[in-house]
A and B are shown apart, each in its own frame.
Chain A
Amino acid sequence: MATREVRPSDPGIDPKTGEFRVIGQGETFKSITEKISRIVLTPHTPLGFLAFFGIAGGGATVLLVAVTWLFLKGTGIWAVTQPVAWGFAIINFVWWIGIGHAGTLISAILLLFKQTWRNSISRFAEAMTIFAVVCAGMFPLIHVGRPWLGYWLFPIPLTMNVWPQFRSPLLWDVFAVSTYATISVVFWYIGMIPDFGTFRDRSESKIAQYFYGILSWGWRGSIRHWMRYETASLLLAGLATPLVLSVHTVISFDFAVAVLPGWHTTIFPPYFVAGAIYSGFAMVLTLAIPLRKFYHLESLVTERHIDNMGKVMLATGFIVAYGYGLEAFMAWYSANHWEAFTFWNRAFGPMGWSYWTLIICNLAIPLTTLWSRKLRTNIAYMFVLSIIVNTGMWFERFVIVVTSLYRDFLPSSWGTYRATKWDYMTFVGTLGLFTTLFLLFVRFLPMIPMNEIRMLLPAAKIKPKAAAGAGD
């Protein structure tokens, strides 16, 4: 789509506010219900979907192969060794968890702030969160080397009488990530219950009626149920909000609590959280732009959404920039020899290319162009930009993990890091798994919350009797 001039006469613009419309003109309760439920309830699966599904499934198979080989041979097949003992596994873990954060931010924080534009994108952003956490959660488990002993992480009464050590941020992580995953699933599922009721009532096939009927728990839209439901949604949003802030904070503790130069900084928690939201919104754009195109949802996911997400990225991108700046400043201001060397080595050492990649992808390109509304509403540009930011954020984690480790305190223990094909296969494999899960979600579950969209329609406005009689 080419860049378009924004004029007040544009049908996408609300003349009252001068802003893009949240929902396209002329939509009714029936039309949006029809539009969204048709995607799922049609017995016909589009060929394009099957093609994508085949590719994504191929990716997921690569993951299966890589992880099977890992279990047979051990973590020696990866490039992790001394001094770089944390490699791709932790980079990918942090990257995936970060991506999930935008989903929770959209579904929880924007709900509390009554940003109703979020309604169209909240459901698939939540789905993105859950699938990203699935991919993320796998990495620490396969990284422990003996994943069949993964249950040692939990406080379970074992015959050995050994208990976990609660003073370690690594254990805090177990609780932070497992809570995050559980609450995200509950929030997501509770949100879908009324829509499952709609699917049950609208599906033609008996199997679908049973399937969605059971998933809906027999939802019938009683106003008393709705009010409890609204209270619960609001409470879940309130509870998920501190989670958005705490999960990546706890993950940053894994680094910040260590005494390594490059990790031992107090800026890490806020900078990790902002980076998480930054990359998460990039991922929402990466998913939303093709989805609205293929499923013709332009009137539900409008330019307003793309524009607003661009603004959120601009804001969080600047927090990230502040984080980078402060890291550089502290390297100088701390007057710590090791800290200064680590920073210099990051930017100008043998792996300096990774640092400059992240500066270009995360700061130079997005933070200069996102100011322009023209570019923010240019769909093709935003899609490309979202991929650039995702790449940049992956490199950010690469820089944090690898370049802080490979130059140890003593030059005699210096090493390097070169990822093996198994590292790459595992990473590409999680991309495949994520896409597979997301495609299944789009095919079988309501990807846009119908009940929340209905509230935004003009027909949902309650008119007093007299005015209705006189006006119509």
Chain B
Amino acid sequence: MPSREGTYGLLAEFDTPGDLVRAARQAHEDGWRRLDCYTPYPIEEVAEVIGFHRNRVPLVTLVGGLMGLAAMFSMETWISVIAYPLNIGGRPLYSWPAFIVPAYEWTILWAGLSAGFGMLALNGLPQLYHPLFNAPNFRDGATTDKFFLCLESLDPKFDLVESKQYLESLDPVSIVEVEY
């Protein structure tokens, strides 16, 4: 459990996505690992330069979809063959081609729900409070037109004075110390 007191990190603000990409690349190359970037829209280059290449949303979606498929197909089979066998025009009880449509729909349903809510869960959301919201310029611009790089205090390289000087070398618009 990380400590909930003191400094969360140092937040540097940039005006353009290009500046953020350069700063983030530099920080990552200099060995920073507990860092994150905050942008008003997705920027793939930023994720690339901080080494975030892959995520587990596709896996969650696949598992969800297969579960939906299995659940519906087995339910249809159980209902039509065992629980409530009906003779419809002499068709076999296990008339699997007719079961495909609902099973297909449930594959999509479960996969879609897993993709959506799995993404939120992997992101650790909902999280209505976050220390960064204490930074006034973050609330002002992070979801509108500003680009942020945050060096977190949990990084072993973190030191309030030295890290601040380091961030200044990356040429940001401003640097704010964020409290927990």
Which of A59-67, A166-174, A385-393 contacts the other chain?
A: A166-174
Q: Is the CB of B145 within 8 A of A33?
A: yes
Q: Which of A265-281 contact B (CB under 8 A)?
A: none
User: Nearest Cβ in chain B — how far from A372, in angstroms?
Assistant: 36
- State the interface size on chain B (CB cutoff 8 A): 69
Chain B residues, Cβ within 8 Å of A231: 55, 57-58, 119
Report if A30-B127 is in contact (Cβ < 8 Å); known contacts: A163-B84, A179-B106, A183-B108: no
Which of A130-138, A282-290, A349-357, A456-464 contacts the other chain?
A: A456-464
Q: Is the CB of A232 within 8 A of B142?
A: no
Q: Is the CB of B115 within 8 A of A235?
A: yes
Indicate if B37 sits at the interface (CB-CB under 8 A). Answer: yes
Q: Which of A157-178 contact B (CB under 8 A)?
A: 161-167, 169, 171-172, 175-176, 178
Indicate if A93 sits at the interface (CB-CB under 8 A). Answer: no
Q: Is the CB of A201 within 8 A of B38?
A: no
Chain A residues, Cβ within 8 Å of B98: 166-167
Chain A residues, Cβ within 8 Å of B104: 242, 246
User: Nearest Cβ in chain A — how far from B145, in angstroms?
Assistant: 3
Indicate if A227 sits at the interface (CB-CB under 8 A). Answer: yes
Which of B2-10, B72-80, B160-168 contacts the other chain?
A: B72-80
Kindly count the residue-residue contacts between A and B in the assembled complex, taking CB atoms under 8 Å apart.
Answer: 205
Q: Is the CB of A179 within 8 A of B119?
A: no
| Bound-state Cα–Cα, A463 to B22, Å | 10
Q: Is the CB of B57 within 8 A of A218?
A: no
User: Nearest Cβ in chain B — how far from A465, in angstroms?
Assistant: 6
| Bound-state Cα–Cα, A239 to B58, Å | 12
**Interface flags, B131-151, vs A, CB<8A=1, else 0:** 011000001101111000000
Q: Is the CB of B38 within 8 A of A221?
A: yes
Chain B residues, Cβ within 8 Å of A190: 116, 119-120
Q: Is the CB of A227 within 8 A of B112?
A: no
Q: Is the CB of A217 within 8 A of B120?
A: yes
- Contact partner, A451, options B41, B72, B132, Cβ 8 Å: B41
Q: Is the CB of A235 within 8 A of B102?
A: no
| Bound-state Cα–Cα, A418 to B71, Å | 45
Q: Is the CB of A167 within 8 A of B88?
A: yes
Q: Which residue of A lies closest to B100 (CB)?
A: A172
**Interface flags, B96-107, vs A, CB<8A=1, else 0:** 001101101110
Q: Which residue of A lies closest to B118 (CB)?
A: A232
| Bound-state Cα–Cα, A390 to B39, Å | 41
Q: Is the CB of B75 within 8 A of A176?
A: no
| Bound-state Cα–Cα, A155 to B99, Å | 13
Q: Which of A237-265 contact B (CB under 8 A)?
A: 239-240, 242-243, 246, 250
Q: Is the CB of B38 within 8 A of A224?
A: no
Q: Is the CB of A223 within 8 A of B18?
A: no
Q: Which of B105, B113, B129 has the most CB of A within 10 A?
A: B105
Q: Is the CB of A224 within 8 A of B112?
A: no
Indicate if A10 sits at the interface (CB-CB under 8 A). Answer: no
| Bound-state Cα–Cα, A172 to B46, Å | 45
Residues of A within 8 A of B (CB): 28-30, 33, 155, 161-167, 169, 171-172, 175-176, 178-179, 182-183, 186-187, 189-190, 193-194, 197-198, 200-202, 213-214, 217-232, 235-236, 239-240, 242-243, 246, 250, 451-452, 454-455, 459-460, 462-465, 468
Q: Which 8 A-B residue pairs are closest in the complex by CB-CB distance?
A: A29-B145, A232-B119, A163-B84, A226-B42, A217-B126, A454-B41, A198-B143, A172-B101
Q: With contacts A200-B143, A224-B36 known, what are 12 further pairs, Cβ within 8 A?
A: A33-B145, A162-B84, A172-B105, A182-B109, A217-B120, A220-B38, A222-B36, A227-B42, A228-B123, A236-B115, A246-B105, A462-B45
